[in-house]
Amino acid sequence: MALIDQFTVQYGLVKKIDAFGYLDYLKNHADEPRKHGKVVLVTADTPLKASRGEGKTTTTIALIDALRARGIDATAVLRQPSMGITAAGSKGGASGGGKSSLSHPELIDWGLCGEMAAIENAQNLLVSFAEKAVDEGRIDTILVPRVSEVPSRSLRQIAVDRGKGDVPERVVLTPTCELMQIVVLSHSMDEIAERVSKMVAGTKDGNPVTFGEFIDLWRITGILGDAVKPAQTETVNGSPVYVHCGPFANVSLGIPSLVSVEMACALHDVVVVEAGYGADAGAQKWLDIACREYGAEWPAAAVVVTRASTWRDDPQLAWRYPFHVHRLESLGIPTFPLVNLWDGEDDQIDSLRDTAKSLDFRNPIIGNLFRDGGEALAPQLDGFVEALDSANNATRAEASNAPADAADPEAADNRASHKGMGLVEDVKWIAENAYGVPADRVLFKFGFAESLAEATELCNGVGTSIDDLAIVAVKSPATMTDDDSAAADERTVTLKKVEPHLGAGVVQVNLTTSLTTPMPKIV
């Protein structure tokens, strides 16, 4: 029996894996055989509309099927989708489609693996404890929001009559909540408990009060017993896939749990990680939060997915896709453009290749992955596999103290932590590097300075510097700047408000257009 089987249980039609236990065992048994898989990041063009995807999951599934057909031990780590958006029909489900789909998509799209419900229940229980704390006089304001998988705009801002005056509360989507961020970033149940204890329940006479001051943490961790375990399923072609946490990179982290990726790297040679929405959202957060601040593995390669229509049909927005591809290349990540064709677009392949060549891309990967699956990709992956082999050689060189590209000072700077950098300075760095807007065109909306001052005071009240928190940019999924159709020298990014999540160790900064309770377009 394989070691991982000792940490795996059947959970309906899928399996659940105790990643915490497995990784802890490996840490304490250094001689135990394990792999050191290389991470491949699948991200995308910025979509034309917030409610439509470019095909990241479909591409991810087709890619691992194609790699395995070439004899490479590849797997994928996907994010658990938000039922209220994907299942309601707003956009494609987060389980691929056609020949590039999971074997049990209904389990993923409809939340039947349980993670979302458990996290929702746990955070709502925290709010109930906060309400009780108001009754007991421990706090007089509630700062942690309730959450729901089914969005309701009428509940974004509410006031609860508690008999002694109204207490403001609010509701956000489950994927955007602080407890989801905590589960994504934590490596043990003890760490989750410690992080929950640092969550700010509310204030008393203007001073922050954390949950650790008045609740028994086992009440929360007990609810999360199964939610912290990645689900294992497979593609329709039998390739292994792990699903855990983290959708919505526009308003939260938008990445799978760090332990699910680390676990997959211990089991497989290539691990394809899906990051949410466009490269300005999911890829930015994998690189700048997961890798830069939490030690996740730097990608050995990246794939940037687009539709032909997104890339070329709107001349005013055509700059975004090349920006994403070249930006990732500039970070030393071999980046492969992939065009996800729809029916009737096969006759565009030659012109798409010509356009890619004119933009100095690597040879693009093009195919109808819904119709043809991994069979469309396998013959086109020579350059991709060569890049992975080079990454493996570089890793071996590092291990033997031989010179390697990763020793490049510029590459090291790309990966260095930003903790201690001023929040505004850090956001300006993100705007310039991820959105192409220089620091002098980052604007402050009226009220931003007051929001920053309040957030800074809240952090100081619990002995934390706001500058030591990782920044989560909260933005529209369909835009990189205030107006992407503006001329390059006129694009701006406007900072709107600041919200610390002290348990998660992050601070959310709202910019451009952003909603934490979006509504599905039900079709």
What pLDDT does 49 receive?
78
Helix (H) or strand (E) holding 124: helix 115-135
Domain end residue (candidates: 412, 428, 446): 412
Expressed as residue numbers, the domain containing 457 is 418-511
Q: Cβ neighbours of residue 347 under 8 Å, at least 6 residues apart? A: none
State CA 55 to chain mean position distance: 16
What pLDDT does 172 receive?
85
Identify the CA nearest to 477 among candidates 78, 176, 260, 273: 176
Total domains present in the chain: 3
What pLDDT does 437 receive?
97
What pLDDT does 326 receive?
97
- Give the number of other CB atoms < 10 A from CB of residue 293: 18
Domain end residue (candidates: 223, 257, 278): 223
State CA 258 to chain mean position distance: 10
What Cα–Cα distance (Å) separates residue 104 from each residue in 37, 186, 237, 238, 355?
26, 27, 12, 12, 38
Residue 518 lies in a domain: no
Domain end residue (candidates: 370, 391, 412): 412
What pLDDT does 517 receive?
53
What pLDDT does 469 receive?
97
Task: Check the CA dihedral 340-344-345-349 and report its sign.
Answer: positive
Which burial class, exposed, middle or buried, applies to 42 when counting CB atoms under 10 A from its CB (0-12, 13-18, 19+)? buried
Shared domain check, 273 and 250: yes
Distance from C-alpha of 81 to C-alpha of 69, rounded to nearest angstrom: 27
Q: Give the CATH number for residue 211.
A: 3.30.1510.10
Share of the chain above pLDDT 90, in %: 72
CB 502 within 8 A of CB 143: no
CB 173 within 8 A of CB 151: yes
CB 87 within 8 A of CB 109: yes
Shared domain check, 245 and 134: no
Distance from C-alpha of 398 to C-alpha of 401, rounded to nearest angstrom: 5
Distance from C-alpha of 521 to C-alpha of 523, rounded to nearest angstrom: 6
Q: What is the DSSP string of 453-489?
A: HHHHHHHHHTT--GGGSEEEEE--TT-SSS-TTS-GG
Task: Check the CA dihedral 393-395-400-401 and report its sign.
Answer: positive
Q: Please, what is the Cα angle at 280 between 274 and 281, to 5 degrees?
A: 50
Shared domain check, 98 and 14: yes
Shared domain check, 352 and 287: yes
Question: Tens place of pLDDT for every residue, the chain, 523 residues?
Answer: 799 999 999 998 899 999 999 999 999 999 999 999 999 999 999 988 766 778 999 999 999 999 999 999 999 999 887 766 555 545 555 678 889 989 988 777 777 788 889 999 999 999 999 999 998 999 999 999 998 887 666 666 677 766 666 777 788 888 889 999 999 999 999 999 999 999 999 999 999 999 999 999 998 999 999 999 999 999 999 999 999 987 788 889 989 999 999 999 999 999 999 988 899 999 999 999 999 999 999 999 999 999 998 888 889 999 999 999 999 999 999 999 999 999 999 999 999 999 999 999 999 999 999 999 999 999 999 999 999 998 865 544 444 444 444 456 666 677 899 999 999 999 999 999 999 999 999 999 999 999 999 999 999 999 999 999 999 999 988 899 999 999 999 999 999 999 999 999 999 999 976 555 554 444 3
Give tens-digit pLDDT for 194-214: 999 999 999 999 999 999 999
Shared domain check, 275 and 191: no
Shared domain check, 400 and 426: no
Q: Give the CATH number for residue 102.
A: 3.40.50.300
